[in-house]
């Protein structure tokens, strides 16, 4: 494997794990290294095990692996929880002076560094800085120049005054010095730095950024893990562009507020997670039938019901493809990386308005809370195109009025897309409804009109299938008969799994699918392959079911649903094993 370095800090929620991890991740990013982070957290505010993991390399890293080189353990449980990932030579930094850490046994073959984190922090101005002392110690172990910590400490504590920043810098240096002075061990690591500039962000932030770039000006949401970061990102930023964020009283209100905003002509969005999607489904049908453009983000987590709110799963695919009573034309996009969260959000807004229909953006917890480094050019704002579709104005509305001067918002067009008049447009007044309606938007139970309107709405999907590039992303050996398909955030782990597989002499062709509905036609590709495996974070294989339906042939499945995302090395093993198995049942 690439010369990467895996580091984690773990303890109890409330110990400042998250911010400490972020400080280190940012320092690495600013030192020109690639970073990929992951988080273990529990659904509680204080107490409960929590960890922030950082994988870093000079080369791009896009997944987690089953390995930890340095662990800062603030509690004994931190060691237990990570035992599987620790290996011979792993370094465990702990504070033996703490009551809870006394008598902690360092597993055989590993290196325990007993650093009086708290005492050192107190000397430097306050016990609260013990995590930063630990970061200094980690810098010593990893041979990472401590100066790189300075700017992220500045970013984190700058608002609290220069004295606080200085104290933290001193605390970090004291931690580093303590390791140098007290341990004679030769550590294996040497974290090289480069001149590259990277940005470090997570999927929720990328979705928020994509929304602003795409002209979203109205966001309504209700806090829910792991989607809340989208709302937090937009709050305070969208206003700078004339937009607004509303925290609604519930998800039902959130989607209806967003619907109102969209109906008034704003590009509007809401984001939630599984349980919220259930509540929003009532209005989802109305949005589709009234042909209102809206982007709905589902940052999936473990379900059903409240499931495991802080754990990974891709279990809502069926809901996003089939959910809702009646038959609902919709689009469902699934970004495959943090950067794709940005691009697919922009695309979602264009699709919503071009085809006047709701668009689901299927993100998931693993991607939403994962921070990853990218070259800033990955987010090329000049490349953002905004297509508002068939919007009519005071001058062009005439061609869409009937002989009585009434506007026809649901005109039966060949491509299924009707004209749209924003409120305020002269001569465009009309009603939008979830009742079946005629071209004017008025309720009808006329059997012919019913068929015409159903067909018209579904024609939008057909039109989009013809006009839009429903492309997939392809990796590995394209000639290989071993075909692996996945959707959403599994791409990174799978791309790295290919390298592990190659080392073992196994070649694979990997197709990562960012469009769930409509989707690229993979039936021929599947039929041509010797072996097909569909990888997803759910139990039943929801995408595998869909592909079996499309291709009329059976596929193999690799499913993970314990709440943890795929790890590259583990996934490679699973694939090897599955390739050798026959399809059963």
Residue reference for tokens 């509007």: 268
How far apart CA 493 and CA 486 sit, in angstroms, is 10
- 320 interacts with another protein by CB under 8 A: no
The half-sphere exposure of 303 on its side-chain side, counting CA atoms within 13 A, is 22
Asked if 83 touches another protein (CB under 8 A), the answer is no
Q: Give, as ranges, the residues between 181 and 210 that touch another protein (CB under 8 A).
A: 197-201, 205, 209
Q: In the set 31, 257, 288, 320, which binds another protein (CB under 8 A)? A: 257
Q: Does 278 bind another protein (CB under 8 A)?
A: no
Assess contact for 53 and 21: CB atoms under 8 A: yes
Q: Considering beta carbons, is residue 385 or 530 the nearer one to another protein?
A: 385
CB of 416 to another protein, least distance (A): 21
Q: How far is the CB of 209 from another protein (least distance, A)?
A: 5
The answer to whether 277 and 300 have CB atoms below 8 angstroms apart is: no
Question: Applying CB under 8 A, does 242 fall inside the site for another protein?
Answer: yes
Among 9, 27, 146, 286, binds another protein (CB under 8 A): 286
Q: Which residues contact 173 (CB under 8 A, 6 or more apart)?
A: 136, 146
Where does this chain touch another protein (CB under 8 A) — which range of 120-128, 134-142, 212-220, 463-471? Answer: 212-220
Reduced 3-state DSSP string for 54-104: EEEECCCCCCECCCEEEEEECCHHHHHHCCCCEEEEEEEEECCCCHHHCCC
Which span sits near another protein by CB under 8 A: 75-83, 88-96, 161-169, 258-266? Answer: 258-266
Stretch that binds another protein, among 14-22, 257-265, 326-334, 355-363 (CB under 8 A): 257-265
Structure-token match 């041979």, residue found: 143
Q: Does 297 bind another protein (CB under 8 A)?
A: no
Helix axes 338-355, 203-213, angle to 10 degrees: 40
Say if CB 296 and CB 227 are below 8 A apart.
no
Distance CA 104, CA 114 (A): 10
In the block, residue with structure tokens 């504070």: 95
Residue 376 interacts with another protein (CB under 8 A): yes or no: yes
Could you tell me the CA-to-CA distances from 108 to 70, 83, 88, 111, 259 in Å, in that order?
Answer: 15, 11, 8, 8, 59
Distance of CA 27 to the CA centre of its chain: 22
What residues from 15 to 54 belong to the interface with another protein (CB under 8 A)? 29-30
Q: What is the C-alpha separation between 515 and 214, in angstroms, rounded? A: 19
215 binds another protein, rule: CB under 8 A: yes
User: Minimal distance in Å, beta carbon 70 to another protein?
Assistant: 25
Is 82 a binding residue for another protein by CB under 8 A? The answer is no
Considering beta carbons, is residue 127 or 431 the nearer one to another protein? 431
Nearest distance from C-beta of residue 499 to another protein, angstroms: 27
Torsion angle, alpha carbons of 546, 549, 555, 557, to 10: 20
Contact call for residue 237 and another protein (CB under 8 A): yes
Residue 263 sits in the site that holds another protein (CB under 8 A): yes
Euclidean distance between CA atoms 321 and 315, whole angstroms? 12
420/292 Cα distance (integer angstroms): 9
Question: Rounded distance, CA 439 to CA 562, Å?
Answer: 49
How, if at all, do strands 34-40 and 49-57 pair? antiparallel
* Smaller CB separation from another protein, 46 or 404: 404
Residue carrying structure tokens 């580091």: 7
Exactly one of 35, 146, 230, 262 binds another protein (CB under 8 A); that residue is 262
Choice from 36, 379, 510, 543 touching another protein (CB under 8 A): 379
127 contacts another protein (rule: CB under 8 A): no
Contact between 252 and another protein by CB under 8 A: the answer reads: yes
* Count of residues in contact with another protein, rule CB under 8 A: 70
For residue 491, the minimal CB distance to another protein (Å) is 21
Q: Tell me the CA end-to-end span of the chain in Å, nearest whole number.
A: 36
Token pair 């869409």 is at which residue? Answer: 400
Interface segment toward another protein; rule CB under 8 A; list 171-179, 237-245, 460-468, 511-519: 237-245
- Smallest distance, Å, CB 428 to another protein? 7
Parallel, antiparallel, or unpaired for β 294-300 and 531-536? unpaired
Among 88, 382, 466, 530, binds another protein (CB under 8 A): 382
Q: Which of 106, 128, 384, 411 binds another protein (CB under 8 A)?
A: 384
Distance CA 224, CA 514 (A): 24
Compute the distance between CA of residue 52 and CA of residue 41 in angstroms, rounded to an integer: 8
| Residue 267 in the binding site for another protein (CB under 8 A) | yes
CA 283 remoteness from chain centre = 24
CB under 8 A: which stretch of 60-68, 222-230, 424-432, 466-474 binds another protein?
424-432
DSSP state, residue 494 = H
Q: Least separation, in Å, of the C-beta of 255 and another protein? A: 8
Asked if residue 218 binds another protein (CB under 8 A), the reply is: yes
Per CB under 8 A, which region of 63-71, 256-264, 474-482, 543-551 contacts another protein?
256-264
Binding to another protein, residues 425-464 (CB under 8 A): 425-435, 442-443
Indicate the residue among 99 and 240 with the shorter CB distance to another protein. 240
Q: How far is the CB of 213 from another protein (least distance, A)?
A: 4
Q: Select from 226, 261, 324, 541 the one that contacts another protein (CB under 8 A).
A: 261
Does the footprint of another protein cover residue 328 (CB under 8 A)?
no
Q: Buried b vs exposed e over 151-165: b needs ≥16 C-beta within 10 Å?
A: ebbeebbeeeeeebb
Is 326 a binding residue for another protein by CB under 8 A? The answer is no
Residue 326 dihedral angles phi and psi, to the nearest 5°:
75, -175
Does 473 help bind another protein (rule: CB under 8 A)?
no
Residues forming the site for another protein (CB under 8 A): 29-30, 197-201, 205, 209, 212-215, 217-218, 220, 237, 239, 241-244, 246, 248-250, 252-254, 256-268, 282-283, 286, 290, 376, 379, 381-382, 384-386, 404, 422-435, 442-443
């Amino acid at each position: 494997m690439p010369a990467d370095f895996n580091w984690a800090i773990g303890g109890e929620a409330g110990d400042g794990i998250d911010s400490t991890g972020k400080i280190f991740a940012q320092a690495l990013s600013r030192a020109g290294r690639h970073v990929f982070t992951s988080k273990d957290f529990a659904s509680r505010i204080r107490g409960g095990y929590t960890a922030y993991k950082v994988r870093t390399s000079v080369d791009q890293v896009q997944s987690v692996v089953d390995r930890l080189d340095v662990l800062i353990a603030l509690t004994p449980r931190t060691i237990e929880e990570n035992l599987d990932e620790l290996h011979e030579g792993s370094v465990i930094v702990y504070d033996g002076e703490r009551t809870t850490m006394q008598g902690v046994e360092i597993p055989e073959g590993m290196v325990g560094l007993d650093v009086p984190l708290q005492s050192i922090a107190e000397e430097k101005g306050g016990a609260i800085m013990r995590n930063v002392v630990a970061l200094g110690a980690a810098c010593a172990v990893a041979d990472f120049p401590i100066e790189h910590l300075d700017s992220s400490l500045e970013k984190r504590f700058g608002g609290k005054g220069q004295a606080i920043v200085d104290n933290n810098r001193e605390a970090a240096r004291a931690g580093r010095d303590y390791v140098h002075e007290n341990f004679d061990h030769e550590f294996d690591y040497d974290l090289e730095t480069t001149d590259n500039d990277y940005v470090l962000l997570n999927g929720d932030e990328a979705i928020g950024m994509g929304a602003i770039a795409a002209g979203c000006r109205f966001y309504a949401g209700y806090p829910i893990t792991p989607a809340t970061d989208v709302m937090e990102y937009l709050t305070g930023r969208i206003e700078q562009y004339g937009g607004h964020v509303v925290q609604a009283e519930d998800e039902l209100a959130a989607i209806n507020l967003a619907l109102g905003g969209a109906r008034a002509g704003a590009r509007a969005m809401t984001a939630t997670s599984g349980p919220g999607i259930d509540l929003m489904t009532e209005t989802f049908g109305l949005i589709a039938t009234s042909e209102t453009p809206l982007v709905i983000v589902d940052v999936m987590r473990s379900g059903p019901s409240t499931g495991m709110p802080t754990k990974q799963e891709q279990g809502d695919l069926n809901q996003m493809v089939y959910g809702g009573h009646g038959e609902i034309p919709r689009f469902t996009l699934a970004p495959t990386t943090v950067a794709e969260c940005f691009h697919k959000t922009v695309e979602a807004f264009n699709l919503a308005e071009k085809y006047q229909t709701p668009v689901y953006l299927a993100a998931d917890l693993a991607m939403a809370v994962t921070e990853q480094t990218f070259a800033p050019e990955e987010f090329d704002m000049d490349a953002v195109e905004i297509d508002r579709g068939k919007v009519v104005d005071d001058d062009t509305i005439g061609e869409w009025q009937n002989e009585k001067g009434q506007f026809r918002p649901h005109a039966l067009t060949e491509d299924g897309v009707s004209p749209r008049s924003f409120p305020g447009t002269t001569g465009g007044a009309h009603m939008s409804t979830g009742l079946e309606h005629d071209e004017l938007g008025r309720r009808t139970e006329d059997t012919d009109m019913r068929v015409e309107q159903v067909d018209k709405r579904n024609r939008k999907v057909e039109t989009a299938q013809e006009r839009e590039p429903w492309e997939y992303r392809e990796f590995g050996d394209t000639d290989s008969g071993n075909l692996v398909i996945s959707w959403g955030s599994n791409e990174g782990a799978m791309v790295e799994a290919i390298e592990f597989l190659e080392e073992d002499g196994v070649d694979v062709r990997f197709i990562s699918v960012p469009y769930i509905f409509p989707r690229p036609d993979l039936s021929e590709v599947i039929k041509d392959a010797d072996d097909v495996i569909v990888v997803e974070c759910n139990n039943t294989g929801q995408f595998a079911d869909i592909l079996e339906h499309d291709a009329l042939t059976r596929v193999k499945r690799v499913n993970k649903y314990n709440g943890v995302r795929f790890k590259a090395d583990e996934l490679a093993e699973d694939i090897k094993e599955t390739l050798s198995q026959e399809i059963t049942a």
